[in-house]
Every structure is written in structure tokens, then in C-alpha cells.
Amino acid sequence: MLGNQMKQLFLQTIFIYTLTMTLAFGQTVIIEGRTRVIDGDTIKIEKSRIRLHGIDAPENKQLCKDKKLSYWLCGQAATKALRKKINNRVVECFSDKKDRYKRHIAICSVNGVNLNRWLVINGWAVAYRKYSKDYIEAETAAKSIEKGIWTGEFILPWEWRRGKRLKQ
């Protein structure tokens, strides 16, 4: 009798553990197709909105300064760079979770090139350390060779969204 109760308890524990792990981590979803670029870190494939994992690009209305201290629309430049990189080709995304806006959080690629990493290493986005450490090395490389937003001054995108602006 005690053996059956132990076996039952063991099976219940395994079931609860498996259920918890499935709910916590979910299953990886593959989203693939032609893409509409929303901004430098958000795309849409059919009805799925996708936020690129571990990166943060300047917002579309965000201004940066170049080396000559001239303002430029760095957010629009990041969006344009992503659009050009995708070039109407099929994008493949792997997502295992959604954010509070119900966007898939994903790592996406086009022709085998990781778009998340490509944006950071080319200076169109920064590593979003709050959520991931995956792209810190790519950011360091872009910063060291002054690519994209690293050519001058900018406000980190999450600070810009909270109202911080470049000094006039």
C-alpha cells in the first residue's frame, strides 16, 4: 500500500513538474514568411507581430547626432536598414514567448543571417541587457568601429521612451 502511494506521489510530482516547465518555457514556435518592417526591432509576418529578442533599436521619431553634431533620424535609419537587409525575402523567426503587448519575442534570420545580431553589429540597435546578454559583444564591436548610431551621440532607446532627449 505504501509503495503504491509513493508511486502515485512520484507520478503526480513528475506531472506537475512537466506542466510547470511547459507553462514556464512554452514551446518554440516557428514563424516564417514575407515580412513587413514596423521599426528597427519589430516586424510583422502575416498576423504575427514579432519583437526581436535581446535588442533595442532607436524609435522611429528618435534623433541622434553625428560627429559634426548634426541631428539625424536614427530610428528611421534603423528601420530602413532592416528593411533593406530583408529585401522582401522570407524571414524565419523562432519564438518561445510573448511580451505584454502579445508580440512574439524571437530570434529571426534571413538567408541564415541572424537579424538581431546583424542590427547590433552594424550599429542600428543596442544589446537590451535588461532581457538578454546575447548581443553585448556585437554591441562592443559596433561601438569600437563607430558604426550606425555609434558615429556620434544618442540616447539609449529605453531612456528615450521615458522622455530623455539629447541636449540642444
pLDDT of residue 7: 60
Entry pTM: 0.84
Q: What is the pLDDT of residues 44-75, one digit of tens each?
A: 999 999 999 999 999 999 999 999 999 999 99
Say which residue, 26 or 152, is predicted with more confidence.
152
Say which residue, 13 or 81, is predicted with more confidence.
81
Local structure of 110: helix, strand or coil: strand
Question: Predicted confidence band at 27 (pLDDT cuts at 50, 70, 90)?
Answer: confident
Average pLDDT over residues 75-84: 98
- What contacts 138, CB < 8 A, 6 or more positions away? 117, 120, 121, 127
User: Would you say residue 84 has pLDDT above 90?
Assistant: yes
Determine what percent of the chain is predicted with pLDDT higher than 90: 82
Question: Predicted confidence band at 167 (pLDDT cuts at 50, 70, 90)?
Answer: confident
Strand 104-110, strand 48-52: pairing: parallel
Q: Which residues of 10-29 are buried (b: 16+ CB within 10 A; e: fewer)?
A: eeeeeeeeeeeeeeeeeeee
Question: Predicted confidence band at 8 (pLDDT cuts at 50, 70, 90)?
Answer: low
